[in-house]
Amino acid sequence: MGSIYRSGKSRGRLAAAQYSERMTDSSQQPLAAAVPDKPALDGLEAVWSARWEADRLYAFDRSRPRAEV
């Protein structure tokens, strides 16, 4: 059982080394995301209110006893 554990550990180190090598390869770095100076919040309430209503996310069931609300 010890040899299986050690071989698994070696494979883990190899995978970690390969992953680390890929992560530091500057030729594969993603481009920076464009982040707006001030995010627009216009229309968010209408969009999410409609979604919450459709999903009945914040619906209140008046037929349930107070202890269950």
* 16 phi, psi to nearest 5 deg: -65, -40
Q: Is pTM beyond 0.85 here?
A: no
Cα–Cα distances (Å) from 6 to 9, 12, 19, 65, in that order, read 5, 10, 20, 59
pLDDT in tens, the chain (69 residues): 454 444 455 666 767 666 666 656 666 667 788 888 888 888 999 999 999 999 988 888 888 888 887
